Amino acid sequence: MKRLLSGIKPTGELTIGNYIGALKQFNEMQKEYETFVFVADLHALTVYNDPKELKEKIRNLIGIYLAVGLNPEYTTLFIQSENMYHANLGWVFECNTYMGEAARMTQYKEKSKNNESVSVGLFTYPMLMASDILMYDADVVPVGIDQKQHVELARNIAERFNNKYGETFKIPEPVIPKEGAKIYDLQDPTKKMSKSDDNEKGCIKLLEDPKSARKKIMSAVTDSEAVVKYDPENKPGISNLLVIYSSLKDISIEDAEKEFENSGYGDFKKRVADVVEEFLTNLQERFNKIMNDGVVDNLLDKSNEKVRKIAEDKVKEVFEKVGVGR
Ligand code: TYM
């Protein structure tokens, strides 16, 4: 069975963008692949987080994974920092990546622009991400479009390592959703909806009050044309709402367009708001039940055994190949 691996950073609060771009795909693909999904908590350290809050977010993210439908029967859920080997392999990859190639990462360029005080970790983080992926010989890595470049770097690192030291890593494929690879901010639909964003009104959080999410949809920026049509270039606000609607309803964008052929924006937004409110209400019900049931620790203990064994074998092989140790 082919392997799937992906992860999410427990910073900020997860948004509907993370769901549509990533979580929904993990969920749909888990039966077809041997699936590994983890909490990228070491990645969260690239910026300062309140330690107590970080722990809570890590635990909540496991709850969200379960609440969206990841099933431990198909998916091994784990926390990155609980498997020490990720950082070990990350170091080997830092030593096999060129400065120029790391400096080309768009996310690093954007975050470090006019900012002297970004951490070195922000620069080297794609190599840790390569370690997450290549450690498990993942065949596919479902991510939103903003992470595609990092998966491509992981491919380059794997190829380089294999050429230098002999066949060691599988070359992974990024899997980007056809629609919804990038969900935009509701107030500024030219910008990615982001969990670390300050603009509360533009962003729908998975654990926020469904009624407040409803209001945000109702006040989303649109345009003055009054036609519900998918046209990201000229109608970014309406197109974004159409993507959200069709993803949550699991229908095509064309079918969603047809549904609203004769609707005005008020009616359209109301229907999108209904779907979002219902989605969040159901998700949160499942989330609360999971967190109250106290199933998380048992599950993590069990999967830790499995992932540590895989990682230990891989790192031993790599250390042997590069020639460190006795
Ligand atoms: P992170 O935590 O920023 O985002 C998690 C996933 O959500 C997707 N995403 C979006 N998709 C659509 N629209 C949006 N507005 C949106 N915002 C976020 C991201 O593309 C991502 O798939 N470095 C990664 C975490 C990571 C990882 C890995 C992923 C660490 N190691 C190994 C895959 C494999 C990150 O910071 O994602």
The CATH number linked to 53 is 3.40.50.620
263 CA to centre of ligand 1 in angstroms: 34
Q: Is the CB of 269 under 6 A from ligand 1?
A: no
**pTM of the full structure:** 0.96
Q: What is the CATH number of the domain that holds 219?
A: 1.10.240.10
pLDDT above 90 for 312: yes
So what's the pLDDT on residue 92? Answer: 98
How far apart, in Å, are the Cα atoms of 79 and each of 36, 119, 173?
11, 22, 22
User: Three-state DSSP class for 36?
Assistant: strand
170 has catalytic annotation: no
One domain for residues 165 and 109: yes
Q: Is 95 a domain residue?
A: yes
pLDDT, tens only, 34-70:
999 999 999 999 999 999 999 999 999 999 999 999 9
Closest residue CA from atom 26 of ligand 1: 7
Q: How far is CA 94 from CA 98, 121, 124, 153, 310, in A?
A: 8, 11, 7, 12, 21
* 147-181 exposure pattern, b = at least 16 Cβ within 10 A, e = fewer: bbbbbebbbebbebbeeebeebbbebebbbbebbb
- 150 shares a domain with 282: no
Amino acid symbol at 129: M
Q: Do residues 201 and 216 touch, judged by C-beta distance below 8 A?
A: yes
Q: What does the pLDDT read at residue 269?
A: 98
Q: Are residues 303 and 250 in the same domain?
A: no
Chain position carrying tokens 């999904």: 37
Partners of 38 in beta bridges? 7, 78
> In the chain, how many domains are there?
2
In a domain, 126, yes or no: yes
3-state SS class at 14: coil
Ligand 1 and 9: CB distance under 6 A: yes
Tens digits of residue pLDDT in 150-201: 999 999 999 999 999 999 999 999 999 998 899 999 999 999 999 877 678 9
Contact 146, 107 (CB under 8 A): yes
CA–CA gap between residue 242 and residue 322 (Å, rounded): 50
Q: Is residue 191 part of a domain?
A: no
CA dist., res. 184 & res. 301, Å (int): 37
Quick one: which of 196, 257, 178 has its CA closest to 15? Answer: 196
pLDDT tens for each residue of 267-308: 999 999 999 999 999 999 999 999 999 899 999 999 999 999
Same domain, 14 and 136: yes
115 and 238 inside one domain: no
> 14 and 49: one domain?
yes
Residue 187 lies in a domain: no
**Does residue 170 sit in the same domain as residue 214?**
no
Q: Are residues 144 and 35 in the same domain?
A: yes
Q: Give the model's pLDDT for residue 116.
A: 85
CA end-to-end span of the chain, whole Å?
35
Domain span holding position 279:
200-288
Whole-number Cα distances in Å, 238 to 22, 128, 183, 266:
22, 37, 12, 12
- Among this protein's residues, is 55 annotated catalytic? no
Cα gap 27→66, rounded to integer Å: 10
Structure tokens at 309: 């064994």
Which residue in 111, 170, 249, 321 is the catalytic one? 111
Q: Whose CA is nearest to atom 11 of ligand 1?
A: 21
CB atoms within 10 A of CB 225: 12
% of the chain exceeding 90 in pLDDT: 94
- Asked if residue 91 and residue 38 are part of one domain, the reply reads yes
- Number of Cβ within 10 Å of residue 214's Cβ equals 20
